[in-house]
A and B are shown apart, each in its own frame.
Chain A
Amino acid sequence: MRYLVAFLRFWYEFIVGDDWIIAAGVVGVIALTALIVDRGFTAWWVLPPAVVALLAASLRRATR
């Protein structure tokens, strides 16, 4: 059990890292992009500003 917890913790820290907002935000933004594409709209403009906004939000959280 201890090894399983350590294994899961390693991967959580490796992938999610210091700020879970980034991981959750990325998944949400990509899902939103896929949804917009699925409805037949152009969606290339969604990701770049959303990534910038996520970075800014994470930096703000780290420096407050």
Chain B
Amino acid sequence: MTRGSFLFLAAFLASGVEMVEALTIVLAVGVTREWRSTLIGAGVAAVALAILVAALGPAIAAVPIDVLRIIVGTLLLVFGLQWLRKAILRAAGYKPLHDEAAIYAQERAEARAAASEQRATLDWYSFTVSFKGVFLEGVEVVFIVITFGAAQDHGVAIAAAAAAAALVLVAAVGATVREPLSRVPENTLKFAVGLLLTTFGTFWSGEGAGVSWPGEDIALLAILALLMITSLAAVRVLRRERYLASLASPPKGAGA
């Protein structure tokens, strides 16, 4: 139950965040250029992602479960720590926050400036930008679904259901509002996803290495709590350091 719920939540949030980013690109190109080529580009990308899942799924199923857990755990841990690191740096002010409205405006400006080129009755710019945006963001979703799914029974079904739920939600909201979902607290979601990926990565890579976790699945909660406390403390410490550094080096011209 614990693993299944965590898995669904992590896959839903991670997929949702990536889909919000893909939606921004699709909306910007569709609104600025034309919808037909943009939607065909997004659709072809979705088919390419499905082929990727179909190709990787059976290959992964052939790997023994302990070997798989150590590989999947290692990848999730590396991936989760990257997400967490970025989210902490953004929350502490060391990296700018991901601004969907600004990205949308920039994508629209680029789409307006791009030359018009017709290929196979498609506006090639709309098709390629939409395809690239959906495919690259989708690769992360596929990666998460497959890695989560591979390491536990019925995992692929749970993770795929979570990704599908996120897709329906983001697509429905996007089609309704027809503008980037800039009110989605992206960094908070990325923070949560980073915590969940790192938690699962620690747990599964440990199991793959032969560790017996005390309390079995309950250990997931303990690892999550440890990472959450550490991450929140890191944000506080880094914010304070940044504040103290700003006091020590006043803006240019001050005191002259």
Please provide the chain A residues from 8 to 64 with a CB less than 8 Å away from any CB of chain B in the complex: 14-19, 22-23, 26-27, 30, 33-34, 37-38, 42-44, 46-48, 51-52, 54-56, 58-59, 62-63
Contact of B77 among A26, A37, A42, A63 (CB under 8 A): A26
Cross-chain contact of B234 among A47, A51, A59 (Cβ < 8 A): A59
Q: Are A22 and B209 touching (Cβ within 8 A)?
A: no
In the bound complex, what is the Cα–Cα distance between A22 and B86 (angstroms)? 12
Nearest CB in chain A: distance from B155 CB, A: 20
| Residues of chain A with a CB closer than 8 A to B202's CB | 47-48, 51
When the two chains form their complex, are residues A56 and B209 in contact, meaning their CB atoms are under 8 A apart? no
Are B212 and A44 in contact, CB atoms less than 8 angstroms apart? yes
B109 → chain A closest CB, angstroms: 25
Interface of B is mostly: helix
State whether the Cβ of B161 lies closer than 8 Å to any Cβ in chain A.
Answer: no
Chain B interface residue bracket vs A: 35 or more
Q: How many A-B residue pairs have CB under 8 A?
A: 100
Tell me if B85 and A18 are in contact (CB < 8 A): yes
Q: Which residue of A lies closest to B70 (CB)?
A: A30
Asked if A55 contacts B212 (CB within 8 A), the reply is: no
Establish whether residues A38 and B84, one from each chain, have CB atoms under 8 Å apart when the complex forms.
no
With A14-B139, A44-B219 already in contact, the answer to whether A30 and B89 are too (CB < 8 A) is no
Q: Are B85 and A30 in contact (CB under 8 A)?
A: no
- B81-106 interface code vs A (CB 8 A; 1 in, 0 out): 11011101100101000000000000
Closest Cβ neighbor of B84 among chain A residues: A55
Contacting residue for B78 out of A22, A37, A63, CB 8 A: A22
**A14 CA to B206 CA in the complex, in Å?**
23
Complex Cα gap A62–B205 (Å): 26
Known: A30-B74, A33-B206, A55-B85. A63 touches B241 (CB 8 A): yes
- Rounded to whole angstroms, the CA-CA distance of A23 and B92 in the bound complex is 23
Segment at the A interface, from B40-48, B110-118, B224-232: B224-232
A51 touches B81 (CB 8 A): yes
> Given B139, B143, B226, B231, which contacts A48 in the complex, CB threshold below 8 Å?
B226
* Residue pair A15, B77 in contact (C-beta under 8 Å): no
A2 to B79, CA, bound (A): 26
Q: Decide: A38 and B198 in contact? CB cutoff 8 A.
A: no
**5 more A-B residue pairs beyond the given contacts A34-B70, A48-B202, with a C-beta to C-beta distance below 8 A:** A18-B86, A37-B211, A43-B211, A48-B222, A56-B230
B interface residues, Cβ below 8 angstroms from A: 70, 73-75, 77-79, 81-82, 84-86, 88-89, 92, 94, 139-140, 143, 198, 201-202, 205-206, 208-214, 219, 222-223, 226-227, 230-231, 234, 238, 241
